[in-house]
Structure 1
């Protein structure tokens, strides 16, 4: 029996009306498994391979929507993705007369109220909105989530290894607690990931979770180029050269930051005006107003004739439908292979088309890292994403959330609920009790003997609008011109009257700043600076750095790298020409300068961070780490480097004591998470050890480390 024939009649009619020639491989596999078994499934395939339909075709065929309650819960990482998928899912559900409802801060209030009165159909929601329902309206959560048959998690790979992902895992467990019948089946939609076991753990039921992988390869044509002398800003020569690559195509540019996206959009638009080209240059990121972003998305999706160029961030890395994109341009290296592949997958989405990637680096080490990510992708390596084994900060947050949801619980029941939650599976009941004792002492929780309730200090947290999320939101100011919101600027010293800034691919002059109302008023201007947004760049996996070191001994492919890219890598090769870097697992070069040692570690961000901290604990003054170049600078040549390695190994065994001391004496030294700041000292230490550092990785790195100097005989620094 064909997979098509397994589907319900309305769904078959939908497929016929859409004139599909055939089901995609992931769709055929999902239909057979979802309809034929009762397990959870992770559907893994490349961008634009039909994963959404792969989940919904069999789900809509299987579920009896005449049953009471919401039957299918769709969870998305982005509101914009919910709005985009709403159109597709509603179109599909119309064939079965099934109601589809969006639930987020910007969604239709009347539709939400109607769903509360009569829970039914399919509900599209974000993790933060689920948390808000549990916290503020537990009765609504009960009505909406207690009858679920399926939970679909879109772009599930974006949740892996993150605080937000662990939060979602906890919420899934709490949804299970509401079930009046069988637990909902979980269907995850994922891009290619580096660790399928981590995907399976997401359901909380590993034995009954299977991964379906569509390994159909999609061709990618990659080109690598280099542009020098781009420091604080992109230079005019680079902009002119880049313009030549974007002027006649439909292009997405990913420059790794919101400020860079604005600079590129404005400068390319100005160049196009000067050269009488098209004027469809946009920026797209989280600080651009929602309506402006939606206009850009609609223009790209529905525009058939005109070329366009969108300078964007990860907001367009995920599956929002923007139609045909011919080329993706990545400016400087991504921090991960997974991110690079997601981005390049935005181009060539039609059947039979290759994805087109142009990777432009503006700095030598970025060029080398770009090549490393690309080579590892060709070797089918994608870095795994691991979350904390013991998320103490989430445990604190969820203890408060459950007490708020229930209006109080006996201590035994609360401990049992937390311990039963899959994301807290590595905690002992004693550890949960220790945290509760602390929370009671600090008045986050009040002990009424027979039950625990939210305490005075806890009430201040749970009643805040910030309680629903795991991420810290900086102070943002709305930017307004002629009564219209353009976007947001982060509150920084540059936000003052008469300053010119770039936003939404335009230049603005600030005319007034109202801090109390959190508003900035602007008028158009002719020149300005890119805005500053404080956001991390992401940790680089050790395997990428190891590949960078390996490439220093490798000839590049001239069919992928133009002469500028090859010359860039040759510049770095000159730096290490006197070294014999043939034992990649152990040998690391040391460049001896007049007053300092420069150790090139070629290892991951977290290990570099750990090495730097260990050096600080040894009272080495002014030690510096440059993770971009993966180097540690020791500004004291009197130090014996062999002894330094031995001392670092020794310090590693007692690193917890040093972390504790720094947290007590310099609380700002280790940035803690949003909820980590409320933990007791011992748990703050555990949090730092597990998130800031890589203790096992550093232990292995130091155990094999051999530092070599550029002597004729490659002298090894003895330990």
Structure 2
């Protein structure tokens, strides 16, 4: 046990927690965090990362006599914050410090109490932090005056999308506000590029502040950049053919055990939950369209029960505690190795237990994808976490938020608030000019103010819509009496039906009794079966380059290092036979069907690389049916000679994919950008130049079916 920790903390770690020693990560994190260094702490799920961060920070807090709200603890999910509050509150209480929770579900009375007596540690989300900065009810200069450190839990969940850019921008504004840098500590379980992720987290402090990656439990498996867990666990891959068969297997296996089942869609969660309940299995559900109360009740009941199942989307992938699990079951496959590692890490936490996961594939494609993902996992590979390129729309949102926060900003000095961090610097000048030209901002006397267009578009509920950088699909709230059950896709309420209109929500069927179109609500009562579930998925879907390439390897004969059931072996053999003409070991295949009117280039390069190739080779690509993860459809009259001429210099003229203007609806704040810049942002995010270049460097074989 390290004597560098505060003596009071040490006493409680030994006597209250009963720990004979700290874990390696917890020991190794003490010195750099007490020294004030920025750090990225990496360990498998349930590896003690929270304690590794908070024990040294509490020690530093006591030694340096920090006052006021000196630590922010940021999480991507409100449920995760709720889960952490009692644990962190206990640790802080040992040293006479206080913890408080601030997010969208916290009542106004509790917020007023926090503002009146500031806690030492505030648990919140970046969106709620932004709300505090722009709120007229919060004296943000006084409230954050004592800030010394920020802990970002599940940092990879931020860094891979626009919430990460928003997080960085808000942290930069905070450091400018208080006039000094703030220690930044990231916690993560699954990253393939830890050094780059730490550099990203440091923001404008990169190169000027000491920083280190602390990962004693994650050996470097790939020289330079890798921090994947050593592949261990009891993993089995099965082929079941349907969700009904999956329900039979789940109902018949592991009686008396607690099972967490992951599905890749809310619809599958609802349908499987209903099937399991129909078989007499105690079943709970969790997904983003269930109400907060419904999810909380499910998670609490599941944590206390034993012989039961909880069916979930990725809402339970992160570190929300649902008690000791016996089994994880995966329907089909997640789209990343990182997600699989998070899910696998939910098991094996009890002494004497091991990590385990049973994959149940519903069709041949899902079986192939699962085998490919497990092939990558077996090699210790995990995806790098890379921030989306060119977040111009976030720069627009931040300029507006700054004007709302400060009431006015200098038209020449505004970039100082982000301490030189791109893209919140002078590179955003074209965006600023557009904001002024379109009335989002007013300019007068060298100062910028919120303009009438920003008031019109974002002013509802005190600009609350401006603090979130993602857009959700419109949904109707479902009510049973006065109690909210969840939300459903409007299409379920508008499609033509015979007889009663019935919904499937929380694994049960409901009859719609009344629809309030103006307020987007519908009222329901229980029904005996017949309910339907459906939600619209927004944005681009598709697999990455590495996973698509691994699928090609599986078709060529590679097997993942896991147990395959006889059903899986037989079905995989059939898939290999059926698709044998679509792969060859020397490169890619261009296949013409027996009729001669269908010509496809089987690249196995993933959605983004194929989008890039299709944009680059427009002369050869079918303009209507273009591409997916695996292939690009070519014009039927392309000959081998023409093809060779077209790709001769294609690697030197790669193009960004074309983007439909309709796609701008999914990019929040896109209307605050010039249309050409909004389209350029989406095009950059859809491209995979490296993957496209790799495919062009391979040989291509023309064959006939």
Work out whether the TM-score is over 0.5.
yes
What are the equivalent positions in structure 2 for 1:58-97 lying under 5 Å apart? 58-64=56-62, 67-97=66-96
The answer as to whether partners of 2:72 and 2:151 remain within 8 angstroms in 1 is yes
- Equivalent of 1:504, from 500, 506, 509? 506
Give 1:614 deviation, angstroms. Answer: 4.8
Give 1:268 deviation, angstroms. Answer: 0.9
Cα distance in 2 for residues equivalent to 1:655 and 1:514: 47
What are the equivalent positions in structure 2 for 1:365-514 lying under 5 Å apart? 365-418=365-418, 420-424=419-423, 429=426, 431-464=427-460, 465-494=464-493, 498-514=500-516
User: Which secondary structure state, in structure 2, belongs to the residue aligned with residue 202 of structure 1?
Assistant: helix
The answer as to whether partners of 1:283 and 1:505 remain within 8 angstroms in 2 is yes
Cα distance in 2 for residues equivalent to 1:637 and 1:702: 20
Q: Do the aligned partners of residues 148 and 645 (structure 1) sit closer, same or farther apart at CA in structure 2, a change above 3 Å counting?
A: farther
CA deviations over 1:72-102 (Å, ceiling 9, x no partner):
1110101111110001011112212212111
Counterpart for residue 111 of structure 1: 110
Counterpart for residue 236 of structure 2: 223
- Equivalent of 1:693, from 646, 669, 687? 687
Give 1:237 deviation, angstroms. Answer: 3.6
Give unmatched runs, 5+ long, in structure 1: 273-278, 712-719
Q: Do the aligned partners of residues 549 and 116 (structure 1) sit closer, same or farther apart at CA in structure 2, a change above 3 Å counting?
A: same
Counterpart for residue 676 of structure 1: 670
User: Which secondary structure state, in structure 2, belongs to the residue aligned with residue 310 of structure 1?
Assistant: strand
Cα distance in 2 for residues equivalent to 1:244 and 1:646: 59
What are the equivalent positions in structure 2 for 1:185-584 lying under 5 Å apart? 185-200=183-198, 201-204=200-203, 205-207=205-207, 208-215=210-217, 217=230, 219-228=232-241, 230=242, 234=243, 236-245=244-253, 247-272=255-280, 279-303=281-305, 306-418=306-418, 420-424=419-423, 429=426, 431-464=427-460, 465-494=464-493, 498-536=500-538, 538-554=541-557, 556=559, 560-577=563-580, 581-583=584-586
The answer as to whether partners of 2:664 and 2:670 remain within 8 angstroms in 1 is no
User: Which secondary structure state, in structure 1, belongs to the residue aligned with residue 476 of structure 2?
Assistant: strand
What are the equivalent positions in structure 2 for 1:565-604 lying under 5 Å apart? 565-577=568-580, 581-583=584-586, 586-588=587-589, 590-594=591-595, 595-604=597-606
Cα distance in 2 for residues equivalent to 1:606 and 1:574: 27
Q: Do the aligned partners of residues 161 and 308 (structure 1) sit closer, same or farther apart at CA in structure 2, a change above 3 Å counting?
A: same
Give 1:370 deviation, angstroms. Answer: 0.9
Give 1:412 deviation, angstroms. Answer: 0.9
Q: Do the aligned partners of residues 106 and 685 (structure 1) sit closer, same or farther apart at CA in structure 2, a change above 3 Å counting?
A: closer
CA deviations over 1:632-666 (Å, ceiling 9, x no partner):
233x432225535754766994846x84xx65xxx
The answer as to whether partners of 1:588 and 1:602 remain within 8 angstroms in 2 is no
The answer as to whether partners of 2:440 and 2:454 remain within 8 angstroms in 1 is yes
Cα distance in 2 for residues equivalent to 1:146 and 1:11: 29
Cα distance in 2 for residues equivalent to 1:580 and 1:317: 34
Give 1:129 deviation, angstroms. Answer: 0.5
Indicate yes or no: 2:44 matched with 1:46: yes
User: Which secondary structure state, in structure 2, belongs to the residue aligned with residue 323 of structure 1?
Assistant: coil
Cα distance in 2 for residues equivalent to 1:209 and 1:172: 17
Give 1:143 deviation, angstroms. Answer: 2.4
Give unmatched runs, 5+ long, in structure 2: 219-229
Residue range with higher mean Cα deviation, 48-57 or 199-208: 199-208
The answer as to whether partners of 1:11 and 1:95 remain within 8 angstroms in 2 is no
CA deviations over 1:592-640 (Å, ceiling 9, x no partner):
341202322111221122334456676734324233xx12233x43222
User: Which secondary structure state, in structure 1, belongs to the residue aligned with residue 680 of structure 2?
Assistant: helix
The answer as to whether partners of 1:138 and 1:405 remain within 8 angstroms in 2 is no
Residue range with higher mean Cα deviation, 193-202 or 12-21: 12-21
Counterpart for residue 632 of structure 2: 632
The answer as to whether partners of 2:287 and 2:314 remain within 8 angstroms in 1 is yes
The answer as to whether partners of 1:591 and 1:598 remain within 8 angstroms in 2 is yes
The answer as to whether partners of 2:45 and 2:189 remain within 8 angstroms in 1 is yes
RMSD of Structure 2 on Structure 1 (CA): 2.6
CA deviations over 1:206-257 (Å, ceiling 9, x no partner):
34221101326573110000122x3xxx3x4443233223544211111101
Q: Do the aligned partners of residues 538 and 351 (structure 1) sit closer, same or farther apart at CA in structure 2, a change above 3 Å counting?
A: farther
CA deviations over 1:551-593 (Å, ceiling 9, x no partner):
222253696111111122212211344577222xx33352534
The answer as to whether partners of 1:477 and 1:491 remain within 8 angstroms in 2 is yes
Cα distance in 2 for residues equivalent to 1:617 and 1:164: 38
Q: Do the aligned partners of residues 32 and 353 (structure 1) sit closer, same or farther apart at CA in structure 2, a change above 3 Å counting?
A: farther
Cα distance in 2 for residues equivalent to 1:139 and 1:618: 59
Give 1:295 deviation, angstroms. Answer: 1.5
Residue range with higher mean Cα deviation, 574-583 or 191-200: 574-583
TM-score (norm 2): 0.90
Give 1:466 deviation, angstroms. Answer: 1.5
Counterpart for residue 227 of structure 2: none
Give 1:423 deviation, angstroms. Answer: 4.6
Q: Do the aligned partners of residues 179 and 589 (structure 1) sit closer, same or farther apart at CA in structure 2, a change above 3 Å counting?
A: same
Cα distance in 2 for residues equivalent to 1:130 and 1:103: 8
Give 1:14 deviation, angstroms. Answer: 4.3
Give 1:539 deviation, angstroms. Answer: 4.2
CA deviations over 1:117-166 (Å, ceiling 9, x no partner):
23231101011101112222385322232211211111111112211111
Give 1:686 deviation, angstroms. Answer: 2.2
Cα distance in 1 for residues equivalent to 2:412 and 2:403: 13
Cα distance in 2 for residues equivalent to 1:360 and 1:174: 47
Q: Do the aligned partners of residues 670 and 438 (structure 1) sit closer, same or farther apart at CA in structure 2, a change above 3 Å counting?
A: closer
CA deviations over 1:667-699 (Å, ceiling 9, x no partner):
215655111243113312320221122234324
Counterpart for residue 613 of structure 2: 611
Cα distance in 1 for residues equivalent to 2:484 and 2:253: 32
Cα distance in 2 for residues equivalent to 1:16 and 1:24: 16
Counterpart for residue 717 of structure 1: none
The answer as to whether partners of 1:579 and 1:710 remain within 8 angstroms in 2 is no
Cα distance in 1 for residues equivalent to 2:583 and 2:536: 40
Cα distance in 1 for residues equivalent to 2:624 and 2:61: 64
CA deviations over 1:344-374 (Å, ceiling 9, x no partner):
1111222442111001111212211111111
